[in-house]
Amino acid sequence: MRIPGTRPTPSRRRRLALVWAATSLLVCLAVGAWTALQRRGTTAPAPPDVPHAPTVPAPAAPAAAPASPAAAPASPEAPAGPAAPGPTADGGTDARVEELARVSGLGRRSAEALVVAGITSLGELADSDDTALAGALDAAGLPHATTMSSWPGQARRLGSG
């Protein structure tokens, strides 16, 4: 029992310091683990009893390229979708990806996924809804960003400024 006006004994101070140190260590470990999960873009898996848990599709294997241009049959009826992002002929980066990556919270990989899905400019991003953005990220196997719903508004501001 502690008498008012007295200080704790040295052994009690040591125990309090040990409890404080152990608590601080546990908090630091928990925060570190949470931060690592957020950086990877993953969260804890959904419990097995959830019937509609989102799944990440497996990446598709790249198709084999023909040996020569003469061996490749020309198909004029093939849909002309947007070109995949990548380096340009002069060795620079794709300007469309760079333009989209100006939006805060929209990283390079997410911008590449949007370009592949057909959202290639700030104007198209400004006109997009959350469903289209989520579909583009799902198709690329990327997790949904927490700031995804703010991307169209940011694109409007960047496009007008």
* pLDDT for position 78: 44
Q: Residue 79 and residue 97: Cα distance in Å, rounded?
A: 22
Which residue range is the domain that position 29 belongs to?
9-41
Domain total for the chain?
2
Q: Is residue 62 part of a domain?
A: no
Give me the helices (H) in 1-118, please. 10-40, 95-100, 108-116
Element (H, E) at 153: helix 151-160
Residue 63: inside a domain? no
Comparing 6-20, 32-46, 125-139, the range with the smallest average pLDDT is 32-46
Residue 29 lies in a domain: yes
Tell me what pLDDT residue 49 has.
55
User: What tens digit of pLDDT does each residue of 95-118 get?
Assistant: 888 888 888 888 888 888 888 888
The pLDDT-based confidence of 85 (bands split at 50, 70, 90) is low
